[in-house]
Amino acid sequence: MVTLNGLRETMEQVVAWRRHLHRNPELSYSERETSAFVAKHLREWGWNVRTGVGGHGIVADLAGSAPGRTVALRADIDALPIQDEKNTEYASQVPGVMHACGHDGHTAALMGVAKLLAETKDRLQGNVRLLFQPAEEVPPGGAVAMIRDGALDGVDVIYGIHLWTPFPAGTVYTLSGPMMAAADEFTAHIKGKGGHGGLPHQSVDSVAIASHFVLNVQSIVSRNVDPTQPSVISIGSIHGGTTFNVIAGECKLQGTVRTFNNELREYAKRRVEEVLDYTCRMFGATYELEYLLGYPPVVNHDAETKLVLRKAAELFGTDRTGTSSLIMAAEDFSYYLERVPGCFVFVGAGSETANVPHHHPLFDIDESALETSLRLLYSLAAER
pLDDT in tens, 177-217: 999 999 999 999 999 999 999 999 999 999 999 999 999 99
| Mean pLDDT on 60-81 | 95
How does residue 67 score in pLDDT terms, banded at 50, 70 and 90?
A: confident
Nearest alpha-carbon partner for 251 in 187, 206, 197: 206
What does DSSP say about strands 182-191 and 286-292: parallel, antiparallel, or unpaired? antiparallel
Helix, coil or strand: residue 120: coil
Distance CA 37, CA 33 (A): 6
pLDDT value at 120 more than 70: yes
Element (H, E) at 105: helix 103-119
| Mean pLDDT on 300-321 | 97
Nearest alpha-carbon partner for 300 in 323, 316, 268, 319: 323
Q: What is the pLDDT, as a whole number, of residue 292?
A: 96
Q: What is the pLDDT, as a whole number, of residue 5?
A: 58
Phi, psi of 286 (to 5 degrees): -120, 175
| Mean pLDDT on 328-343 | 98
Contact 154, 70 (CB under 8 A): yes
Q: What is the pLDDT, as a whole number, of residue 23?
A: 98
Query: How many CA atoms does the CB half-sphere of 185 hold within 13 Å?
Result: 12
Q: How confident is the prediction for the chain on average, in pLDDT?
A: 96
pLDDT value at 123 more than 70: yes
Instruction: List the domains of the chain with CATH numbers.
Output: 4-179+298-383 (3.40.630.10), 182-292 (3.30.70.360)
Catalytic residues: 78, 136
Nearest alpha-carbon partner for 361 in 1, 2, 42, 98: 98
Residues 6+ apart with CB under 8 A from 367: 15, 18, 105
Phi, psi of 352 (to 5 degrees): -65, -30
Distance CA 333, CA 179 (A): 11
Helix, coil or strand: residue 46: coil
Q: At what angle do helices 32-44 and 4-23 cross, to 10 degrees?
A: 160
Distance CA 319, CA 326 (A): 20
Contact 264, 225 (CB under 8 A): yes
Contact 77, 134 (CB under 8 A): yes
| Helix residue spans in 123-176 (DSSP H) | 142-148
- Chain centroid to Cα 278, Å, comes to 34
Measured from the Cβ of residue 94, the count of other Cβ atoms closer than 10 Å reads 14
Query: How many CA atoms does the CB half-sphere of 67 hold within 13 Å?
Result: 0
How does residue 1 score in pLDDT terms, banded at 50, 70 and 90?
A: low
| Mean pLDDT on 121-143 | 95
User: How many percent of the chain have pLDDT more than 90?
Assistant: 94
Q: At what angle do helices 4-23 and 368-383 cross, to 10 degrees?
A: 120
